[in-house]
Amino acid sequence: MIRFDNVAKRYATGHEGLSGVNLHLAPGEMAFLTGHSGAGKSTLLKLIGLLERATRGQVWVNGRNLNKLKSRDIPYHRREVGMIFQDHRLLHDRTVFDNIALPLVVAGMGHAEVKRRVRAALDKVSLLKKEKVFPITLSGGEQQRVGIARALVSRPPVLLADEPTGNLDPELSREIMELFLQFNQVGVTLLVATHDVELISSFGKRIVNLRDGRVADDSGGPA
Amino acid sequence: MARRAKSTKFRRNRNPVTWLLRHAQMSLSSLGRLSRNPISTAMTAAVIGIALALPSGLHLLVDNVSQLSSTWDGSASISLFLSEGVSDEQADIVRKQVALRADIAETRLIDRDQALEEFRRLSGFGEAIDLLDQNPLPAVVLVRPQNSVQSADAVAALARELQAYREIELAQLDLQWVERLGAITNTIERAVIILAALLAGAVLLIVGNTIRLEIQNRHDEIEVVKLVGGTDAFIRRPFLYEGIWYGLLGAAIGLLLVLSSLYLLDGPVQRLAGLYESDFALAVIDPASLLGVLFGGPLLGLAGAWLAVGRHLAQIQPE
């Protein structure tokens, strides 16, 4: 589902975000991405969501070589990759419902179908009663759940999360992670970047450790 | 695994009905967004309105003036003022002589009594005239040259020939002021075109700048929409519609300004025309300028929005 072949990313500033990463995630697989800040976790996720392009090597997602994807195809690619951020990136002038509906609206889905899907997504993150409120009135954990609902509402085959629990206390963090485990059980491919090694070690999932832009350790990688 | 054979084409929604529906929704929601800031919207639209009203109002004015001058049919007439001692009978003979010339199409004699009568009626000096014991006015023969005598020079040459007649004191060309008026209106017309072009540029800049600010205000929203897979067209659309709405509102205000100016000018113009013994009336706005403003406004708005969107949307990329 996700494949990195000797991928490097050098920024215009000269900073090397990734240098020669090989990584393969099978469909339906879930992996945690760990490493110090600056180790390249965010860069790796950005390459998958095409927020950045690789300077060397090839990135494959869902059978497509992202290097060969034209700019005008990027939006369609992003509809297949749900992205979750540490700072949620919610729109504060729109209700929870409208925030979650956004991916469906941009894809041109009909009103009735949008309503049905948003309700289903709200139900998954246990926020059904909050659909009419504005995100600012929600707690940090609830806002993150809105962000998650937005990422999964269009049922993308791939979900990426960049430090989704970065601002949450341990209990909420565990709740969020368990939510991800549930999605994985229904076949979604997940890649979650986090520095919370203690928390994730209890889940028994694959852990990929990055150091200085390279894969230093991979609990489920090819031998 | 990732290289397994599968279609790498993305599914795109190409259903024309949903496409139209989305455009309709988008245009209405853009209008709704504008109506939430009524004061700033009204101010922008008013600036556009004034910019559109100026050239179209001037164009209307020039149009009216050139209509006024074209009632002379483009053909010049020559007034032959006869010498003082010439009697009415002699005057008619002069008229007949002149009428025999091949280059004259039409003649009309205004004898001394008629001239007096006309002067009394039009000049407002009727009572003063009555005090005179004799008619001070000469008889006049109005002459219209053949259409073959068209150029100003030819008409002027004809006038000089006629002036050589013994009974004719003065052959006055009525062409001159018509020509001058024509030249003036031509000049003004050209100026109006230049002004219109400049103001169209101003409208472009106004709308462009307004949309640019709007894009800046909605920076976060644009970023998020790009993150969740919104196409450039999808992101562009509300801004383009905003430009169109600004243009349309501006056009409506512009027309309103022109029409109310016409209304305010109508009374004075009628009085003026009455004084000149003319049934001239201000023409209402012609269909061409009406359509020009109604379509030109939104078109300029769209173009201005497109300029801003093209320059600034690409700069916003999610990180």
pLDDT over threshold 80, residue B151: no
More confident site: A222 or A207 = A207
- What sign has the CA pseudo-torsion B124, B129, B130, B136? negative
Q: Do B227 and A49 touch (CB under 8 A)?
A: yes
CB-based burial label for A14 (10 Å; 0-12, 13-18, 19+): exposed
Of B125, B148, B173, the last residue of a domain is B173
A133-142, B36-45, B82-91, B119-128: range with lowest mean pLDDT: B119-128
User: Which of A77-86, B156-165, B284-293: highest mean pLDDT?
Assistant: A77-86
Max Cα-Cα span within chain B: 121
Nearest to B220 among A26, A91, A110 (CB): A91
Residue-range definition of the domain harbouring residue B220: 21-71+180-312
**Is residue B5 included in any domain, yes or no?**
no
How far is residue A147's CA from residue A164's CA, in Å, rounded to a whole number?
9
Q: Are residues B122 and B185 in the same domain?
A: no
Q: What is the CATH number of the domain that holds B133?
A: 3.30.70.3040
Q: Are residues B150 and B257 in the same domain?
A: no
Structural domain count, chain B: 2
Between helix B219-227 and helix A96-106 the angle, nearest 10°, is 60
Q: Do A91 and B231 touch (CB under 8 A)?
A: no
pLDDT digits (tens, 9 = 90+) for A124-160: 999 999 999 999 999 989 999 999 999 999 999 999 9
Answer for the pair A135, A90: CB distance below 8 angstroms, yes or no: yes
Overall average pLDDT of the A25-47 stretch = 92
C-alpha B64, offset from chain centre: 8
How far is residue B68's CA from residue B196's CA, in Å, rounded to a whole number?
23
Answer for the pair B273, B279: CB distance below 8 angstroms, yes or no: yes
**Residue of A7, A105, A155 to mutate when probing chain B, most B C-beta within 10 A:** A105
B70-79, B130-139, B221-230, B278-287: range with lowest mean pLDDT: B70-79
Q: Are residues B231 and B263 in the same domain?
A: yes
Q: Is B302 helix (H, G, I), strand (E, B) or coil?
A: helix
Structure tokens at B104: 């004259």
**Is residue B92 included in any domain, yes or no?**
yes
Of B173, B190, B222, the last residue of a domain is B173
pLDDT over threshold 90, residue A79: yes
CB under 8 Å to A56, separation ≥6 — which residues? A6, A7, A8, A9, A10
How far is residue B47's CA from residue B257's CA, in Å, rounded to a whole number?
12
How far is residue A187's CA from residue A155's CA, in Å, rounded to a whole number?
11
pLDDT over threshold 70, residue A222: no
Nearest to A76 among B6, B226, B229 (CB): B229
Answer for the pair B151, B74: CB distance below 8 angstroms, yes or no: no
Nearest CA in chain A to B22: A108
Nearest to A63 among B4, B230, B319 (CB): B4
Q: Do A78 and B226 touch (CB under 8 A)?
A: yes
pLDDT digits (tens, 9 = 90+) for A172-196: 899 999 999 999 999 999 999 998 8
Rg of chain B taking only CA atoms, in angstroms: 33
Domains of chain A and any CATH numbers: 1-80+158-223 (3.40.50.300), 90-155 (no CATH)
Q: pLDDT band at B5, cuts 50/70/90?
A: very low
Structure tokens at A22: 């090989």
**Is residue B2 included in any domain, yes or no?**
no
Q: Is A14 helix (H, G, I), strand (E, B) or coil?
A: coil
Q: Do B224 and A64 touch (CB under 8 A)?
A: no
Distance from CA of B235 to the nearest CA of A (A): 9
Q: Are residues B186 and B61 in the same domain?
A: yes
For residue B21, CA distances in Å to A141, B18, B69 come to: 37, 5, 52
Q: Are residues B52 and B199 in the same domain?
A: yes
C-alpha A78, offset from chain centre: 11
Nearest CA in chain A to B20: A108
Q: pLDDT band at A94, cuts 50/70/90?
A: very high
More confident site: B184 or A103 = A103
Q: In what order do the strands lie in the sheet with A64-65?
A: A16-25, A2-10, A56-61, A64-65
Q: What is the pLDDT of residue B70?
A: 55
The dihedral over CA atoms of A189, A194, A196, A198, expressed in degrees to the nearest 10, equals 30
How far is residue B108's CA from residue B93's CA, in Å, rounded to a whole number?
12
Nearest to B229 among A24, A75, A110 (CB): A75
A83 contacts in chain B (CB < 8 Å) = 227-228
**Residue of A91, A95, A143 to mutate when probing chain B, most B C-beta within 10 A:** A91
**B200 backbone dihedrals φ, ψ, rounded to 5°:** -60, -40
**Is residue B39 included in any domain, yes or no?**
yes
Q: Are residues B163 and B294 in the same domain?
A: no
Nearest CA in chain B to A82: B228
Q: What is the pLDDT of residue A149?
A: 95
Q: Do B317 and A110 touch (CB under 8 A)?
A: no
CB-based burial label for A161 (10 Å; 0-12, 13-18, 19+): buried
Nearest to A89 among B11, B18, B224 (CB): B224
Q: Do A1 and B4 touch (CB under 8 A)?
A: no
pLDDT over threshold 70, residue B74: no
pLDDT digits (tens, 9 = 90+) for B217-237: 999 999 999 999 999 989 999
For residue A141, which of A161, A129, A127, A160 has the smallest C-alpha distance? Answer: A127
Q: Are residues B109 and B255 in the same domain?
A: no
Q: How many CB atoms lie within 10 A of CB A92?
A: 13
pLDDT over threshold 60, residue B75: no
**Is residue B308 included in any domain, yes or no?**
yes
Fill in the amino acid letter for B285: I
pLDDT over threshold 50, residue B3: no
Q: Are residues B159 and B301 in the same domain?
A: no
Q: Are residues B33 and B124 in the same domain?
A: no
Predicted ipTM of the assembly: 0.91
Q: Are residues B224 and B255 in the same domain?
A: yes
- Pinpoint the alpha helices (H) of chain B: 16-35, 38-70, 88-100, 112-123, 126-131, 152-163, 175-217, 219-227, 232-275, 287-312
**Residue of B6, B22, B23, B228 to mutate when probing chain A, most A C-beta within 10 A:** B228
Fill in the amino acid letter for A102: L
Q: pLDDT band at A95, cuts 50/70/90?
A: very high
**Is residue B13 included in any domain, yes or no?**
no
How far is residue A81's CA from residue A99's CA, in Å, rounded to a whole number?
17
C-alpha B77, offset from chain centre: 28
pLDDT over threshold 90, residue B284: no
B32-41, B138-147, B195-204, B240-249: range with lowest mean pLDDT: B138-147
Q: Are residues B64 and B190 in the same domain?
A: yes
Q: Are residues B294 and B190 in the same domain?
A: yes
pLDDT over threshold 50, residue A223: no
Overall average pLDDT of the A106-130 stretch = 92
Instruction: State the pTM of this model.
Output: 0.76
